[in-house]
Each structure stands twice: as structure tokens, then as C-alpha cells.
Amino acid sequence: MNQTLLAEWCAEIEADPTRIRTRFPAAAREIGRTPGTSPEPGAERVEDDVRLLLLGALGRGLADDADRLSTEVHDLYRFGDADERRAVLLGLGLLSDELGDRAVDLLHDALRTNDPRLVAAAVGTYAARLDDAAWRQAVLKCLFVGVPLRLVSELNRRADDELRRMVADYAAERQAAGREVPADALLLLSDPAPTTTTRES
């Protein structure tokens, strides 16, 4: 990773937040990326870490203008490729205090996809802002697309009887169809307080 260039870009974005529009897409190419591919949906990658630092600089640059910050974040997501969208989703938790609920719609968008990388990023710390019904659906989406439930933020605290009922119905449907039930679903049903680890994002 080119730390010197990264520091320069962060200072540049903090001074002129519009610079993130060109720096964010170029981050992996010009500053650093993880070699090869990351098959696990929650795997940490250098390019994610770089983009999170750029988003942090954006947050500092627009600390007093939440609406403009929201606009910039939405544009990065809207015009970004899957890798850039993943980084935006990971960064929402970092910008949570400044954004408030302004970017919850991005979680809903990501959770409508079948891309495990986006789903995994959408259930990070910013997912605390999802209402209970949407959060339960997010957990089910993880089971559907193969995202480990250990990546779901606050699973221990928010898992409730309604979620377990929904997961039990999902498991029964799979069993009736002769399909394997994901181990995470069985663990959730058997353990009233499943173990979870989350990445701060």
C-alpha cells in the first residue's frame, strides 16, 4: 500500500470533498489492492481499507453538512462498481453519526441483490439503523446467499423469537424440498444467544 499517496489523498479530500469522486474509483489501482481474489464475502481486503480511510476524510470534510455528505456517499454507491459499492456499505458505520438514517436506503438496495459481498457489507454496524422487520429479512438474506451469520452486527442482541420462527420456517421448507439446511440456521435455532463477531465498518 502506498501510504504516502494515501495520506495525500485523504488531506486532499478533507480540503475539497468533491475530489473523492475521482479518488475513490482509482484507489485499488493507484494505492493498493489485495492480490488475487477474496472468495469469502466478509474477507478483508486492502482496497476496502484504503476506501474506508478516504470515506473517513470525506466525513471530516463534510462534518457540518450531513445532506451534502449523504449526496456524495449516494453518488459513490450509485456510480460505483461492485467493489466500490461494497466499500461504501462498509463505510456507512464509520459515518453513522454524521449521516444518521440518511443512507439506510443503500442497505435496502444491497439487500435486494444476490451478491454475497454486498449483503455481507450491508449487515455491518450501520445495519443497527434497520428496523426490526428489515433486520430480520437481512438475516434471512444472509442464509439464502451464504453469508456467515457471524458477520451480522448485533446478532446476539437483536435475535428474537420472531426471527427464530422465520428461520425455522425457512429450514422446514428446505428440508421438505430435500435440501440441506445451512449450519448457521441450525445454530441460530439451537442457541438462544449465538456467537457473532463483527467488523467495525
At 6-42, the pLDDT tens digits run 999 999 999 999 999 999 999 999 998 887 666 567 7
| Pair 63, 94: CB distance under 8 Å | no
Residue 196 lies in a domain: no
Contact (Cβ atoms closer than 8 angstroms) between residue 70 and residue 88: no
* pLDDT score of 163 more than 60: yes
Query: Residue 86: which of 96, 94, 76, 99 has the closest Cα?
Result: 76
Res. 196: pLDDT tops 90:
no
Per DSSP, 148 falls in state -
Residue type, 13: I
pLDDT at residue 195 tops 70 = no
> What pLDDT score was predicted for residue 35?
77
Tell me the pLDDT tens digit for each residue of 39-92: 567 777 899 999 999 999 999 999 999 999 999 999 999 999 999 999 999 999
How many independent structural domains does the chain possess? 1
Give the domain extent around 157.
3-190
pLDDT score, position 190: 87
Q: What is the DSSP string of 125-177?
A: GGGGGS-HHHHHHHHHHHHHHT--GGGSTTHHHH--HHHHHHHHHHHHHHHHT
In a domain, 195, yes or no: no
Q: Is residue 197 part of a domain?
A: no
